[in-house]
Amino acid sequence: MQPSAEVLYRQMYKSRRFEEAVTELWNDGHISAEMHLSKGEEAIVAGVVDHVTDGDALALEHRGTAPLVMRGVDLALLIKEFMGLEDGLCRGMGGHMHLFSPEHLAASSGIVGASGPAACGFAFAAQHLRPGKVAVAFFGEGAMNQGMLMESMNLASAWSLPVIFVCKDNGMAITTPSNEVTGGDLLKRARGLGAHAISLDGTDVNEVWRAAREAFVRAREGGGPTFLHATCVHPDGHLLGDPLLRIVRKPVRELKSRVAPLMKAATTGGSSLSEKAASLGSIVDMLGRASKADRQGASDPVEQQRPQLSISDAQRADLEREVDAEVQDAVAAALRSKEARG
Amino acid sequence: MKTMSFAGAIEDALMKAMSEDPRIVVFGEDVHSIRMNLFAKFGEMRVRSTPISESAFLGAAVTASMAGLRPVVELLMIDFVAVGVDALVNHAAKLEGFSGGRWKAPMVVRASCGGGYGDGGQHEQSLWGWLAQIPGLKVVVPSNPADAGGLMLSAIQDEGPVIYLEHKLLADYWIDGLADGGRTNLDYDIPEAGARGEVPRTWEPIPIGEAKVLRDGNDLTMVSVGVSVHRCLEAATQLAEHGVQAGVIDLRSIAPLDTDAVCRAVERTGRLLVVDEDYKHFSLSGELAAVVMEAGITAQFARVCVEDTIPFDRRREAEALPNVARILEAASGLRA
Ligand SMILES: Cc1ncc(C[n+]2csc(CCOP(=O)(O)OP(=O)(O)O)c2C)c(N)n1
């Protein structure tokens, strides 16, 4: 039975607030290097993870935060991991791209496409050791062009493995529009490899939940893999401090050092005028797309779920306060731990 | 003399080469934005973004080069070579041998490498020893702008496959994009002389396989490559204050390895200290020990390398990577 709207809302709200807190910590320099958020993907993750029970496995990529938050991993453990502290989820050894939780059979990789084979292995182990259990692979549409992921779909079909392949399609891989480097149609591709395949609006958690239910039932009953293709938007770009978004948000500052060499390159020598004009055109397009996505905002999956709630505004405010407090406690615990470390 | 940034020097040399030779093409993920200037100058047919399909586009680079192009194929990070390494190990490297010397693959694989900014053990590896082990692959690792430009020219002109590694701490755009992301509240131990420096008025190729003696010293020979070269120079300065004269050799290329330069120096000092950001075991450092022994030189040996998966935590990361303190400690062990 579908859980109440509040349950899914709470999951998405929690993930969102958690990642907002992470963003602040990152801005303040508590977290080093790259940080890829799941922001914008909450409905996909919530709609899928709601079906996950103990013994099911999660194969995660560089946006593994939301699945683990929604799976119930301790928030303070996650933040401490992001901060590289010894008492983090993985003792500060992995960071946000390499999150592991053996209790949840959850393993991440920063290698694009690696969640495909990972899910197959988890699913094969389930066939042997945990009949009825499944493995979920999360990945972006860019990863669909990675050989190992396509191979995994075939392997899962050939062996009838209980895998749910979840493609979170935001249309972009770092700065490359995926439609410019992808041949054919992703649904047909998955079907060609023998998976059941379905397309959905990844900002609608209820739609995702219903499609995921079918996929989980099929997998648990031995019916083989399903490919869920869900669209979404990443409002903060590829990673925090996304260079394209920085240009779009602070053009004068960010473009100052870039424009002169670019113009020099474009106006001297090289290829024909028309080819150079095409290049400049596509650079402008790239910035235009980033700017448009930034200005418009997206159909926000968290906000979209609000009208579905059957609780009063006051009850919703209570729910949100409770989650906010949980997030704040986790941040405070992590900062205390960092301070104690000296 | 002009000065340039490390990244600027690579781009300048590459741009010059591309202007002169229409066979040179650049492809890899996101090159339309990472190499925006090249993209603007040479257009999409010569600077082409790929899908995230390392095995396909690395494999394609091999035959594109066999068929007359000069590809500079880009992996964002050398860690990702693992996905497509078959193209290099079993194909690019083997072609000359298999064809009885009748066919070669003149391609460059360009990738960032190295750590020191807190990105974790899957995005900060060096892996040059791993690649250099395969006969038929050349591997170059510049430590400063002048070498970066000159070695890029040589890599492009070489008739076989060359892996060209640029350390992220030296290339400002990697630090900006991967580490800072617009923040100004984090510090990195960036060697100034590596990140910016003098370059020749016009680029000339620097022969691959020639090490450079950066500092003479009769007591001890330090051999290194990439960012670690600068750590060695810093350590050598400190050692000199204590009366120890340490020489520093920048290998510049791992394969082929300039064994003569190393042996000449170690013969004199009798002490070899290898400082290598790559893994310790089955490695460049082990190879150098073997080279010296094979030459019949009696020498003390020590090495400062990465020994395990690089920790994400910046504090433990700093201890895991070669640093001046570790070098000094290893050096003092040799003197005893
Ligand atoms: C094998 C490999 N190649 C390249 C990268 C660099 N990289 C990290 S994320 C990314 C884009 C991934 O795009 P997509 O799969 O659509 O996921 P998204 O980041 O858009 O969620 C790339 C190219 C990598 N991590 N691993």
Over residues A150-178, the pLDDT tens digits come to 999 999 999 999 999 999 999 999 999 99
Please say whether the beta carbons of B165 and B109 come within 8 A: no
The predicted structure's pLDDT at residue B336: 59
Of B36, B49, B179, the CB nearest to A33: B179
CB atoms within 10 A of CB A172: 22
Please say whether the beta carbons of A134 and A163 come within 8 A: yes
Which domains, and CATH codes, for chain B?
Answer: 2-199 (3.40.50.970), 212-335 (3.40.50.920)
- Architecture of the domain defined by A5-235+297-340: 3-Layer(aba) Sandwich (3.40)
The predicted structure's pLDDT at residue B167: 98
The predicted structure's pLDDT at residue A254: 84
The predicted structure's pLDDT at residue B312: 98
For residue B183, give how far its alpha carbon lies from the nearest alpha carbon of chain A (Å): 7
Task: Kindly identify which residue of chain A lies nearest to residue B19, measuring between CA atoms.
Answer: A270
Of A84, A98, A270, the CB nearest to B118: A84
CB contact under 8 A, A110 and B123: yes
The predicted structure's pLDDT at residue A123: 98
Task: Kindly identify which residue of chain B lies nearest to residue A258, measuring between CA atoms.
Answer: B37
Task: Determine which residue's CA is closest to atom 8 belonging to ligand 1.
Answer: A112
CB contact under 8 A, B39 and A95: no
- B231 to chain A, any CB pair closer than 8 A? The answer is no
- B86 to chain A, any CB pair closer than 8 A? The answer is no
The set of residues, in sequence order, having a beta carbon less than 8 Å from that of B127 and lying 6+ positions away, is B78, B79, B81, B113, B278
The predicted structure's pLDDT at residue A298: 62
Mean pLDDT on B225-248: 98
Q: Report the sign of the C-alpha dihedral through residues B118, B123, B125, B128, in that order.
A: negative
The predicted structure's pLDDT at residue B278: 98
User: Which residue numbers of B are catalytic?
Assistant: 123
Over residues B131-164, the pLDDT tens digits come to 999 999 999 999 999 999 999 999 999 999 999 9
Over residues A263-310, the pLDDT tens digits come to 888 888 888 989 888 999 988 888 888 887 777 666 899 999 999 999
- Domain segments of chain A as ranges: 5-235+297-340, 243-294
Task: Flag whether pLDDT at B119 surpasses 80.
Answer: yes
Mean pLDDT on A212-224: 98
Mutate which of A174, A180, A182, A232 for ligand 1 pocket (most atoms within 8 A of beta carbon)? A174
Q: Is A110 touching ligand 1 by the criterion CB < 6 Å?
A: yes
- Which of these ranges, A180-184, A194-198, A288-292, B327-331, has the smallest mean pLDDT? A288-292
The predicted structure's pLDDT at residue A297: 64
The predicted structure's pLDDT at residue B16: 97
Q: Which pLDDT band, with edges at 50, 70 and 90, does A255 fall under?
A: confident
Task: Flag whether pLDDT at A1 surpasses 90.
Answer: no
User: What's the DSSP call for residue B205?
Assistant: P
The predicted structure's pLDDT at residue B210: 98
Q: Is A63 touching ligand 1 by the criterion CB < 6 Å?
A: yes
Over residues A97-122, the pLDDT tens digits come to 999 999 999 999 999 999 999 999 99
- B319 to chain A, any CB pair closer than 8 A? The answer is no
Mean pLDDT on B215-228: 98
Residue A61 CA to ligand 1 centre (angstroms): 9
Task: Flag whether pLDDT at A323 surpasses 80.
Answer: yes
Q: Which residues are registered as beta bridge partners of B4?
A: B197
State whether residue B297 is helix, strand or coil.
Answer: coil
Which whole-number Å values give the CA distances from B177 to A23, A315, B128, B182, B227, in the listed order?
16, 42, 23, 8, 19
CB contact under 8 A, A84 and B181: no
The predicted structure's pLDDT at residue B335: 67
Mean pLDDT on A90-94: 98
Which whole-number Å values give the CA distances from A270 to B22, B38, B174, in the listed order?
9, 9, 26
CB contact under 8 A, A93 and B309: yes
